[in-house]
Amino acid sequence: MTRPRSSTLQSSILDEARRVLVAEGYSHLSMRRIAAAVGCTATSIYLYYRNKDALIHALIDEGMELLQEQLERSALPADEPLERMRALCRAYLEFGLENPEYYEVMFMLHPERMDRYPAEKYRRARRNLEIFSETLGAIHSGDAAERPDLKVLTTVLWFSLHGAVTLMNARRIDVSIDRKELLDQAVSHSLQIAARPSPSQMTSSPIQ
C-alpha cells in the first residue's frame, strides 16, 4: 500500500542474480534462470537492466561498495597506520573468502570479454585500492625519496591478497595446511610491503 513493492522485482532480480552467482558461478548465470527463480519472464529483466552485462555491472558495483564499507569499517578502530594496514588486509581477505563468487565477478572477469564496459564503473574499484594506498603512504611518510612508487607498492600488496583469495577459493590449497596459520602468514607477508627497504638496497642485498 505504501508501495514498498514497486521496486520489488528489480531488487529480487538482483538478489537472485547474486544468489545464482554465489551458488553456481558466473558461467551458470543466465537471464532465463534468474527469471525462473524470481518468478517473472526473462523479458522482464530487461525492463530493469539493459542487458546481461548491465546486470553484472550492477552486481560488481554492489560488491565494490560492500567491500569498501567493510574495509573502512575494519580500519576505524586502528589508530596506528600499521595496525590499520593489518586490519585492512584481514578485512580484504575476509571479504574475498566469504563472498567468493562476488569476488570473482568483481576481480576476475576480464574486461575485454565484456562487450560494453562502462569505464566509470572502475572508479569505485579504484577507491578500494586507494584506501590501501593512503594507509601505505602514512606508514612510509618519511622516506618519500627513496621508496618505490606508492602505486606500485599498493599493487604488489594487492597481488598478495588477491592471490590468497583466489587460490583458496579455487580450492587449490593443500588441505593439510592449517588455514588459520596460512592466513596469518599471508597477512604478515603482505605487511612486509610496508617494511620494505628502498629498491636499491633490495637489489644489492635482498636478504640479510
Partner DNA sequence: CATGAATGAGCTTTCATTCAT
Partner DNA sequence: CATGAATGAAAGCTCATTCAT
Q: Which member of 25, 36, 98, 146 binds a second copy (CB under 8 A)? A: 25
C-alpha–C-alpha distance, residues 60 and 65, integer Å: 9
List the Cα angle 121/124/127 in 5-degree steps.
145
30 touching a second copy, by CB under 8 A: no
Residues between 32 and 71 with contacts to DNA, criterion CB under 7 A? 32-33, 39-44, 46-47, 51-53
C-alpha–C-alpha distance, residues 206 and 208, integer Å: 7
Q: Of the candidates 76, 75, 93, 95, which has an alpha carbon nearest to the alpha carbon of residue 85?
A: 75
**Cβ 117 to a second copy shortest distance, Å:** 10
**Residues shown for the chain:** 208
Residue 108 binds what, of DNA, a second copy, none (CB under 5 to 8 Å, by partner type)? a second copy
C-alpha–C-alpha distance, residues 208 and 178, integer Å: 29
78 touching DNA, by CB under 7 A: no
**116, amino acid identity:** R
Residue whose grid cell is 519472464: 41
Q: Which member of 44, 52, 72, 148 binds a second copy (CB under 8 A)? A: 148
Q: Residue 72 is placed in which grid cell?
A: 573502512
The piece of 22-30, 135-143, 151-159, 191-199 that touches DNA (CB under 7 A) is: 22-30
- 33 vs 189 by CB, closer to DNA: 33
- 41 vs 192 by CB, closer to DNA: 41
Residue 51 binds what, of DNA, a second copy, none (CB under 5 to 8 Å, by partner type)? DNA
Residues between 157 and 196 with contacts to a second copy, criterion CB under 8 A? 158-164, 166-167, 169-174, 176-178, 181-182, 184-186, 188-189, 191-196
**127, amino acid identity:** R
Q: Are 101 and 25 in contact (CB under 8 A)?
A: yes
Residue 173 binds what, of a second copy, DNA, none (CB under 5 to 8 Å, by partner type)? a second copy
What b/e sequence results for 168-188 when a residue is b if at least 16 CB atoms lie within 10 Å of its CB, and e otherwise?
Answer: bbeeeeeeeeeeeeebeebbe
List interacting residues with a second copy (CB under 8 A): 24-25, 27, 82, 86, 107-113, 125-126, 139, 148-149, 151-153, 155-156, 158-164, 166-167, 169-174, 176-178, 181-182, 184-186, 188-189, 191-196, 199, 202-203, 206-208
